[in-house]
Chain A
Amino acid sequence: MASSIVSSIPLSISDRLTAGILALLIGGFLVFGAGLANSAVLHDTAHDVRHSYGFPCH
């Protein structure tokens, strides 16, 4: 029973927060780069995707 509890809670609270904040930062960076960054090359590459997802474009 004790071992099953250990294996069913793989992340401590601090680990969970670390992973969560890390995921938010990386995810935000990726979405910003593809969806919002004001670079002509990024804009032209992601053009159709930006419009499809309704990101503000042009």
Chain B
Amino acid sequence: MIVKTLLAALVAGLIAGVFSTVAQNARVVPLILHAEEYEGQEPAATPPPGTSTEQDHQHSSQLSPSPLTRMLSALSPITPAFAHEGEHGEEGGIMFGMSRFSGSLLANLVTGAGFGLLLAGVSLVVGHPITLRNGALWGACGWLVVHMLPAIGLPPELPGFPAADLGDRQTWWIATVLLSALGVYLVVLCEEIVAKLIGLVVIAAPHLYGAPQPTDISSSVPAVLGAEFAVAALATALASWLLLGVVSGYLNDRFLKSA
């Protein structure tokens, strides 16, 4: 029975992972590729060399590669090095020499399975089953905890955006996700009004402490791209989590009848 429960969570996660890959390629990945063209350039008030202001407004072909080029680069078995790869001391590159797209698919499958198992794990530990009826709510709460609440301090960022030390940000992010999970649990699943109030305080605590911020916020990546990206990334993640919650609930109802 334990295996069956975990398997249902895993399958829901894999389905959500496939969906994420498709959804991300609609809007989020093109914005990442666009931003990488600016990455590593000197932050400047003037447009990048070789482009006039007029071209900048028109999203000239010089700035953004044609859909065909993008498609070819996604399908190519050997991907161009990422602009920031040189930062790493060790040799980088995508696992098994996969294309960038298949690398993302693999990562989405792993992440989706992880999210599915985490959601099921929380549901089992707190003793509230995920069903088809409440699946969307479970998914929305997962998104709130893992994406929306941490994004208040650390919004989804494009490559080339200024950011504080990676270790500091990861520590703050993990702490915020854990505190948000506890807070959302207290607010959503506890009956007592005092518990709900404590939940709100727990949710607010990491933001009162403050997320690590970069000292220099100048960037060569246009701010418009960053704004579009932050919204697109959060919306895509929300869609994936809603699907994850609903599919988890469906599989539980259909195969486990644990409600």
Contact = CB atoms under 8 A, between A and B. Distances in A.
Contacts of B114: 26-34
Interface in A1-55: 7-11, 15-36, 38-55
Interface residues of B, number: 70
B154 A46 contact: no
Scoring B121, B123, B233, B237 by chain A CB atoms within 10 A of each residue's CB, the highest score goes to: B121
B52 to A, nearest CB: 29
A10 B32 CA distance: 46
A53 B159 CA distance: 13
Interface residues of A, number: 48
Contacts of B157: 51, 54, 57
Nearest to A48: B104
A55 to B, nearest CB: 7
B6 interface: yes
Interface in B48-105: 82, 84-85, 87-95, 98, 100, 103-104
B161 to A, nearest CB: 8
A20 B122 contact: yes
Contacts, number: 190
Nearest to B79: A44
A54 B29 CA distance: 13
A7 B108 CA distance: 35
Q: Is the interface of A mostly helix, strand, loop or mixed?
A: helix
A23 B161 CA distance: 35
Contact of A40 (B5, B28, B91, B113): B91
A24 B128 CA distance: 15
B156 A47 contact: no
A54 B5 contact: no
Interface string B220-259: 0000000000000110110000000000000000001111
Interface stretch (B168-176, B185-193, B194-202): B168-176
B151 A22 contact: no
Contact of B158 (A36, A44, A51): A51
Contacts of B122: 20, 24
Contact of A20 (B20, B29, B125, B166): B125
Interface of A: 7-11, 15-36, 38-58
Interface of B: 1-2, 5-6, 9, 20, 24, 28-29, 32, 82, 84-85, 87-95, 98, 100, 103-104, 106-108, 110-111, 113-125, 127, 146-147, 150-151, 154-159, 163, 166, 169-170, 172-174, 233-234, 236-237, 256-259
12 contacts: A15-B2, A23-B117, A31-B114, A40-B90, A40-B93, A46-B110, A47-B100, A48-B104, A53-B111, A53-B147, A56-B154, A58-B159
